């Protein structure tokens, strides 16, 4: 590999690499001589030399005309290699941070899930509810099947977790089961389905679960603006 290309691989710009290559040959020279040897415009050579001085690759000598001297070739490459190592270390740490974010469990990311039947929805709800630490609020049409999440909700009654439901349509046996559980509930006319856990995780059906279908879809969002909207709407109607 040519010295010019190697210096660029080590992080120098095109002009910096040209000037440093010229100085490796000249050892010591004026800016005009360096400009001619490196074949770069005279209007740029001083800026480039100042940059190399700042990087401790070139020395600025006193006297007139102003002249410059390269540090030893070993020092040049050692300095550039050390800077390269530092950048690679920073990139390595950033890669680890990104990988840590990407390796979070799927439940921590926004996703859409296809379900074969409504029972799978109640199972997922129960599993998500188990992660609650402060609150579970929701809108629900208490159709048949919702009673399957009751055991999980009852487990939270003695754990100071705020559980509240706004319900619209209902299956009377299911409603009675919820009423007997002691969970705080109020009616609402809006036919909205969705749950908010700890003011951050939103779980919502994406199609009408009250109707029979070959498949159903739900969305799960974590720390999404949807959470704030759902929270505001719930408190407004509570």
Predicted pLDDT at 111? 82
Question: What are the tens digits of pLDDT across the range 132-188?
Answer: 999 999 998 877 778 888 888 877 766 788 899 998 877 788 888 888 888 889 988
Partnered with residue 162 across adjacent β-strands are: 135
Residue 106's pLDDT is what? 47
Token look-up 């690759």 returns 57
pLDDT value for 104: 54
Q: What percent of the chain has pLDDT over 90?
A: 44
Residue 107's pLDDT band (cuts 50, 70, 90): very low
Question: What's the chain's average pLDDT?
Answer: 86
| Residues in CB range of 164: below 8 A, 6 or more apart | 135, 136, 137, 138, 183, 184, 185, 186, 234, 238
Fold designation for 108-237: Endonuclease; Chain A (3.30.870)
pLDDT band for position 207 (cuts 50, 70, 90): confident
Q: Give residue-wise pLDDT tens across range 21-40.
A: 999 999 999 999 999 999 99
Structure tokens at 155: 């487990």
Domain definitions of the chain by residue range: 3-101, 108-237
> For residue 5, how far is the Cα from the chain centroid?
36
Q: Would you state the pLDDT for residue 51?
A: 92
Report whether 221 contacts 215 (CB < 8 A): no
Predicted local distance difference test score (pLDDT) of residue 49:
93
User: Could you tell me if 113 and 41 are in contact, meaning their C-beta atoms sit under 8 angstroms apart?
Assistant: no
Give the confidence band of 195 by pLDDT, cuts at 50, 70, 90.
Answer: very high
Residue pLDDT, tens place only, 53-106? 999 999 999 888 889 999 999 999 999 999 889 888 988 888 888 777 665 554
Q: Are 182 and 150 in contact (CB under 8 A)?
A: no
pTM: 0.53
Q: What gap in Å lies between CA 234 and CA 165, rounded to an integer?
A: 9
Q: Which of 42-46, 54-58, 119-123, 176-180 has the weakest average pLDDT?
A: 176-180
Using one digit for the tens of pLDDT, what is the confidence trace for 209-223?
777 788 889 999 988
Say if residue 109's pLDDT is above 70: no
pLDDT at 103: 59
Question: Is the pLDDT confidence value at 12 over 50?
Answer: yes
**Which pair of structure tokens corresponds to residue 5?**
């290309």
Query: Tell me: domain 3-101, CATH 3.40.50.150, correct?
Result: no
């Amino acid at each position: 590999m040519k010295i010019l290309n190697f210096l660029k691989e080590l992080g120098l710009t095109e002009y910096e690499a040209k000037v440093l290559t010229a100085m490796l040959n000249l050892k010591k020279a004026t800016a005009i001589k360096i400009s001619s040897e490196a074949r770069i415009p005279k209007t740029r050579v001083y800026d480039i030399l100042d940059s190399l001085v700042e990087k401790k690759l070139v020395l600025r000598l006193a006297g007139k005309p102003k002249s410059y001297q390269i540090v030893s070739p070993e020092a040049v490459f050692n300095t550039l290699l050390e800077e390269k190592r530092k950048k690679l270390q920073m990139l390595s740490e950033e890669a680890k941070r990104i990988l840590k974010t990407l390796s979070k469990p799927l439940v921590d990311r926004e996703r859409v899930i296809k379900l074969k039947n409504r029972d799978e929805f109640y199972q997922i709800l129960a599993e998500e509810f188990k992660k609650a630490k402060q609150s579970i609020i929701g809108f629900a049409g208490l159709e048949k099947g919702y009673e399957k999440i009751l055991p999980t909700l009852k487990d939270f009654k003695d754990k100071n977790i705020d559980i509240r439901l706004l319900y619209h349509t209902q299956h009377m046996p299911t409603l009675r089961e919820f009423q007997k559980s002691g969970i705080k509930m109020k009616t609402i006319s809006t036919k909205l389905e969705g749950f908010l856990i700890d003011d951050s995780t939103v779980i919502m059906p994406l199609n009408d679960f009250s109707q029979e279908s070959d498949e159903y879809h739900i969305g799960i969002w974590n720390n999404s603006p949807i959470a704030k909207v759902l929270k505001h709407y719930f408190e407004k109607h509570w």
